Amino acid sequence: MPMMNAQTYEESLRRLNLVVYLFGKRLTTVVDEPIIRPSMNAVAATYDLAHRPEYADIMTATSHITGMSINRFCHIHQSTDDLVKKSKMGRLLGAYTACCFQRCVGMDALNALSITTYDIDKKKGTDYNRRFLDYLRYVQENDLVCDGAMTDPKGDRGLPPHRQPDPDAFMHVVEEKKDGIVVRGAKAHQTGAVNSHEVIVMPTLSLKKEDADWAISFALPSDARGITYIIGRQSSDTRKREEGTIDRGNRAFGGHEALIVFDDVFVPWERVFMYKEFEFAGDLVERFASYHRQSYACKVGVGDILIGAAQTIARFNGTDSTSHIRDKIIEMNHLNETLYCGCIACASEGSRQPSGTYCVDTLLANVHKQNVTRFPYEIARLAQDIAGGLLATLPSEQDFRSSEVGGWVQKYFRARSDVPTEHRMRILRLIENITMGSAAVGYLTESMHGAGSPQAQRIMISRLVDMERKQKRAKELCGIIDET
């Protein structure tokens, strides 16, 4: 089956029978809902660009199991070159959509499972890797979007899964059958969930023997019986339902998050990739996290757009030639390119795992993500500084179009005589969208909490840095031979 394009992708979503709730009501159509449609457009861009010859080297790859050309989001990394191209793809799409394009999580889940299922089989004599490869072939041949579902609601953070007052706070097995298992629980903060064909579930943290019932990984069609989606709210989300495009900021693209509820959902054995192998839960989490921390190359692409918008509004305001504005633009570029250095470095230093899959350098991936928790916030602050207070006080497009007051909006919010007021309004709304509006979820909140909190990366950095070697060499250089 050939790779899908944007149109066939949309048609594939229309065939799904999803149970989706928004503002307390079940949606009769997901694809055409204005609040969700921009996020679907962003995913569609991952299909669109894969068919453009100029992006083929970045957006496509050769499957190691079929030899066919596939979308890179369905690919298992076979070299450090693959890892580097993944980072380049993230920046490309981030700059193309100026938002989260949602497919990275599924790609990272596939690659983490390709390693972990192999390792479990080697130690336990199971056949998870064969099941996984069969599933991977299905995903690749049908060019599917996979939602990587890792984050559990967690309940009381001070208690492990088996001690929770409500055991459903973590996804767990409630019944074992001859032909599969029945699971219950939920996955929170699921980016682009209703734009996906498949849901890949993974444990959310390292587990002990007492938590074996929570050590599960599996994949299901996104419209499997018993799965319900509850769409999360975002700042300014209802602007997408309004007439006009100025107040949206980003006219075409956007994102969404959802809570996915699994209410006694049946999973056939062929779709189960981990079942009570608690000692491997931490390995799967760590590998996924490493891959996904690399994936924040997308924030570099969004940063490219925000920097371009800041330079544009400076020109529209008539301030682009002042020294302090030029210096702020330089700083924004410096921070953004530093982020790019991190994602390229952890990819370039990646290594081959026993399964044959290449994984990023875990230490550098965590250093990269630690920077992502900080630099986009500073880039956003500088963009808001350059834009000025009108960013937060600009009247609506309806006022701008009004026969009664529109003339005043036109008159008093014009800056340079050669720049239409509407152009100034549009670029301000784009900056607002990325730094304060619905896209800020993807650019800022995801930068902070996506792929783990800042503290999670600091823990990994402290664990992975070889401090003993650093101290040993320092003492050798200054002549400390025998420390007592």
Nearest alpha carbon to residue 19 among 261, 244, 182: 261
Catalytic residue among 33, 397, 432, 446: 446
Annotation says 443 is catalytic: no
Do 192 and 43 contact (CB within 8 A), yes or no? yes
From the candidates 296, 340, 358, 443, which is the catalytic residue?
A: 296
CA distance 388 to 369: 29
Residue 191 falls in the annotated catalytic set: yes
- For β-strands 198-201 and 216-221, DSSP reports them as antiparallel
Identify the active-site residue in 257, 286, 397, 432. Answer: 257
Residue 100 annotated to the active site? yes
Which stretches of 192-300 are assigned E, i.e. beta strand? 198-201, 216-221, 227-231, 257-268, 272-275
The one catalytic residue in 74, 146, 298, 359 is 298
**CA gap 223, 237 in Å, rounded:** 25
Compute the distance between CA of residue 79 and CA of residue 212 in angstroms, rounded to an integer. Answer: 34
Rg (CA), the chain: 24
* Active-site annotation holder among 99, 104, 343, 346: 104
Identify the active-site residue in 77, 292, 362, 368. Answer: 292
Question: 356: how many CB neighbours lie within 10 A of its CB?
Answer: 13
Q: In what order do the strands lie in the sheet with 272-275?
A: 146-149, 198-201, 216-221, 272-275
- Is 257 marked active-site? yes
Residue from 100, 343, 346, 359 carrying the catalytic annotation? 100
Residue 351 in tokens: 């290594």
State the catalytic residue, choosing from 191, 204, 312, 357: 191
**197 flagged as catalytic:** no
Q: Which residues contact 166 (CB under 8 A, 6 or more apart)?
A: 155
Is 298 catalytic? The answer is yes
| Active-site annotation holds for 74 | no
Which amino acids are annotated catalytic?
A: 100, 104, 191, 257, 292, 296, 298, 446
